[in-house]
Structure 1
Amino acid sequence: MKKVFIIIGVLLFYMNLQAAEKITGIWKIISKETGFVQSIALIYEYNSKVFGRLLVTYEDDGKLSDPKGVADKIVGDPTFIGLDFIWDLEDRGKKWSRGKILDPLRGKIYSCDMWIDGDNLIVKGKIGPFGREQIWIPLKKRSELPSWVKIPNKPTPIIPVVK
């Protein structure tokens, strides 16, 4: 019986050494309600943690939002474009987790997990064990972005504060 516990312990140790898949890149967030692209986000790594920044936002009808639109629930009323809305995700084996995700329209912050499923990124915002998943799809071509979008080379996180 003692050998079984040792084997289980060794297996669990090695499973935790397995790194989560890389999730950095540019992702399209599709609205479950409308089926249109809701926004486009840059997922980037900084000091071994993962962050997410809004690059483009769209209206419910799929048309581009005003790039000067402000997140009025966030201290300083920053624009949605350039807003870090995901922060501090840690590599936890098969997932990136223990981070936060912000709903900038409502000014609500949730716990966040992310993982790769095929070509897509699964993003789960949650409160305790309850949550909602979204499927994000990779941006295939730079031409899918408006010409005015600037992608930072080495972004530095700016963690938002809710009013």
Structure 2
Amino acid sequence: MKLNLKLGLLLLGAAISGSVLAQDLSGTWQQIDDKTGSPKAVIAISKESNGTYTGQIVKITPRPGYTPREICNKCPAPYTNKPILGMELLKGLKHVEGTNNYEHGRVIDPLAGKIYDAKMKLSASGKRLTLRAYMGVSALGRNQTWIRID
């Protein structure tokens, strides 16, 4: 009887962890500023037909003492002088099979006008994303937290 109970709990645990790993990034996320801890923008992430993920800025969160920039004037083409609201800031993320990790993406920082390599890790609960943006070597990048709001 104890063996059956242990086996049942083990299978249940595997089923639960498998369902968490099967979650995707699609949804609406609140981007949190890694320097101030305050909300920055709302990002809608969707899965493309080729299986990669794309994120678009759908709302810029007002912050005290900060006037948001409307145009990406320091950004490289094709983002040059484009509106930040509605901008596709994340693209190309691919799920790493059997994990909560997503890699090989690109992310643009519209305030600095720079494009970075990107990878993300989805929390076990599916409610938090950790974005790692870097140039060349991941160890030399920065993390940013995004919180699911849908």
Fold agreement, TM-score > 0.5 = yes
Structure-to-structure mapping, 1:13-162, within 5 angstroms: 21-47=23-49, 48-61=51-64, 65=68, 69-74=70-75, 75=77, 76-93=80-97, 94=99, 95-117=101-123, 118=125, 119-127=127-135, 128-129=137-138, 130-140=140-150
Distance 1:107 1:84, change over 3 A: same
Distance 2:143 2:23 in 1: 18
Paired-residue identity, %: 22
Distance 1:27 1:33 in 2: 18
How big is the alpha-carbon RMSD for the aligned residues of Structure 1 and Structure 2? 2.2
Q: How many residues align?
A: 120
Q: Give the unaligned 5+ runs of structure 2.
A: 1-20
Residues 38 and 62 in structure 1, CA contact (< 8 A), matched pair in contact too: no
Distance 1:59 1:72 in 2: 20
Residues 27 and 138 in structure 1, CA contact (< 8 A), matched pair in contact too: yes
Distance 2:34 2:112 in 1: 17
Amino acid at match of 2:84: F
CA drift of 1:35 comes to: 2.6
Q: Which runs of 4+ in 1 moved over 6 A?
A: none
Q: Give the unaligned 5+ runs of structure 1.
A: 1-18, 141-163
Residues 16-45 of structure 1 show CA distances to partners (whole Å, capped at 9, x for unaligned) of: xxx763011000011233332111100111
2:86 partner SS: coil
Residues 21 and 115 in structure 1, CA contact (< 8 A), matched pair in contact too: no
1:135 partner SS: strand
